[in-house]
Amino acid sequence: MKTQILLIAMISLSFQALTATKKCDCTEIVQSADCKGGCTWSSADSSCAAKTVDCATLTSQPTCDSESTCAWSDTTSKCAAFTACADYTVTTAEHCYYKNDTCIPGTAGADGKTPCKTGSVTCSSFTNASDCNGKSPSDTTMCWFKAGACTQFDISKCSAITDQDICSLFCKWNSTGTGSCAALTCGDRTTAETCKTVSSDDSSSVNICTFNTSTTKCEDAVDVSALTSSNCFDQTSGYYYWDGSVCSECSGSSSNGYILAFIGFIGMVMF
Ligand SMILES: *[C@@H]1O[C@H](CO)[C@@H](O)[C@H](O)[C@H]1NC(C)=O
Ligand SMILES: *[C@@H]1O[C@H](CO)[C@@H](O)[C@H](O)[C@H]1NC(C)=O
Ligand SMILES: *[C@@H]1O[C@H](CO)[C@@H](O)[C@H](O)[C@H]1NC(C)=O
Ligand SMILES: *[C@@H]1O[C@H](CO)[C@@H](O)[C@H](O)[C@H]1NC(C)=O
């Protein structure tokens, strides 16, 4: 029994890296400075809640379609909550993909307009990089233009990625031998500003990092005791929040994997 406890204590000492699996839900955040991103602060009752979007206030196709719950109608030139793919007929076929993840273009009519329909993305249907890159046939796959063709890649985890360009967006390419892709480690973060967190291989958790000012190296954090009300949330990428007295682990929603990060990244590049 005693040796077992000693063994467990030794094992836990050798795995000092601090991991977290959940970002905060808006409602568990207690100070306004941490209430950001998809959350909004109400000063009336000092509470944080998920942002709600009023589609009707969005007056252009790009701002409307970039909100996941809203969709622009070319027919009425108005923004409203997304209804069904078949309710949209667009002047640019590509815009069908913007209405909802479940929509694809149908066959263009004699007037040149394209009715949208429900369906799934097929990478091989795209003939150039701008239409191809970043489209996602499923939660774990992405299309990428490579050697003249739009190809489907598995991006469920860093170690499954076979393409150096895709790997290098969020993971780390190891060029030894035929090459392989792996998750970043805290040590790969080279500045104090970027030394916050790194995602695990399948992006289901993060390691919390800390910047060692004497060695100027980014290392695995052992705990968050040095974090304060002003840096707890940001230094942990929103996996911890300031609860009024200590930096406390979030119990909210779990991380959504690399696909959202990739899509977010592609979105930033496109718009
Ligand atoms: C819109 O897409 C989401 C997935 O992103 C899906 O869960 C939802 O059912 C779709 N809405 C409709 C009405 O098809
Ligand atoms: C990509 O291909 C589509 C379909 O052939 C075409 O409509 C579009 O103009 C092309 N885009 C670029 C940037 O070449
Ligand atoms: C790179 O890959 C090689 C061969 O698979 C492996 O031996 C090596 O440890 C890897 N390097 C790093 C830094 O992970
Ligand atoms: C910084 O790194 C040095 C050398 O590895 C170590 O002795 C020291 O404890 C580290 N400082 C902190 C604050 O972790």
For the chain, the structural domain boundaries read 25-51, 58-118, 176-271
Q: Hey, which bits of 77-233 come out as E strands?
A: 78-81, 89-90, 103-105, 114-118, 141-146, 149-154, 172-174, 180-182, 197-199, 206-212, 217-220
What residues are paired with 157 via a beta bridge?
none
Residue 216 near ligand 4, beta carbon < 6 Å? no
pLDDT lower than 70: segments of the chain: 1-15, 253-271
Which one of the ligands is nearest to 92 CA? 2
How far is Cα 38 from Cα 182, in angstroms, rounded to an integer? 29
pLDDT at 253: 66
Ligand 1: lining residues by beta carbon, under 6 Å:
84, 100-102
How far is Cα 2 from Cα 132, in angstroms, rounded to an integer? 59
- State the CB neighbour count (10 A cutoff) for residue 227: 20
Residue 215 near ligand 4, beta carbon < 6 Å? yes
Mutate to test the pocket of ligand 2, among 94, 124, 128 (most ligand atoms within 8 A of CB): 128
How far is Cα 226 from Cα 117, in angstroms, rounded to an integer? 53
Q: How far away, in angstroms, is 181 Cα from ligand 3 center?
A: 10
pLDDT at 17: 86
Q: Which atom of ligand 2 is nearest to the CA of 93?
A: 7
pLDDT at 229: 97
Residue 174 near ligand 3, beta carbon < 6 Å? yes
Q: How far away, in angstroms, is 6 Cα from ligand 4 center?
A: 25
Is the Cβ–Cβ distance between 268 and 260 less than 8 Å? no
Residue 162 near ligand 2, beta carbon < 6 Å? no
How far is Cα 183 from Cα 181, in angstroms, rounded to an integer? 7
pLDDT at 153: 95
